[in-house]
Amino acid sequence: MDKVRDTQGMIKGMAPVRDPETWHFCTTDDRELAARARPHALAVFGEEDGTSLILPDEVARDLGFAVEMPMSRITLSVHSALDGVGLTAAVATALAGALIPCNVVAAYHHDHVFVPEELAEDAVAVLRDVAQGAE
């Protein structure tokens, strides 16, 4: 599939889809705990302050991580190019305008927007409106 690079094309084609799983952003400086969590993680990022992981709810709870902010993942279904410009800004701006906090993780094929679980349906509606308004 061809990657979309132009800003309006990425926004118009984002087609947000909510994942039913509950996710948690977790962190640890315990290498053993990070190693046990890694196989279950949707994403892992090494930082100077420790290892950050995005874990499913059950795994995060079972491993004893803090779960005070359950998140929903919204996948932007457009195949955006890694060098595409403007999609993240458009998404973050639209959600900020609706007072919805977000964390965006860009992967190879898609961008994934994590929002507080209780705001997920509102976030999907906002993103669909933005996509429909793209020219």
How far is C-alpha 118 from the geometric centre of its chain's CA atoms?
Answer: 15
Q: How confident is the model at residue 87 (pLDDT cuts 50, 70, 90)?
A: confident
At 90-106, the pLDDT tens digits run: 999 999 999 999 999 99
- E-strand stretches of 2-68: 16-28, 43-47, 50-56
Measure the CA–CA gap between 51 and 44, rounded to whole angstroms.
Answer: 7
For residue 83, the 8-state DSSP code is T
So what's the pLDDT on residue 18? 97
Report the DSSP beta bridge partners of residue 52.
27, 45
Q: How many residues does the chain have?
A: 135
Averaged confidence pLDDT in the chain: 92
**Where along the chain do its domains lie?**
7-133
Beta pairing class for 43-47 and 103-106:
unpaired
pLDDT at 86 over 90: no
At 43-79, the pLDDT tens digits run: 999 999 999 999 999 999 999 999 999 999 999 988 8
So what's the pLDDT on residue 4? 81
The pTM of the full predicted model, rounded to 2 decimals, is 0.92
Q: Is 67 helix (H, G, I), strand (E, B) or coil?
A: coil
| Mean per-residue pLDDT, 98-121 | 95
Q: How confident is the model at residue 24 (pLDDT cuts 50, 70, 90)?
A: very high
Higher pLDDT, 90 or 85: 90
Measure the CA–CA gap between 105 and 50, rounded to whole angstroms.
Answer: 18
Higher pLDDT, 80 or 63: 63
Tell which CATH classification among 3.30.2130.10, 3.40.50.300, 2.60.40.10, 3.55.50.30 matches the domain 7-133. 3.30.2130.10
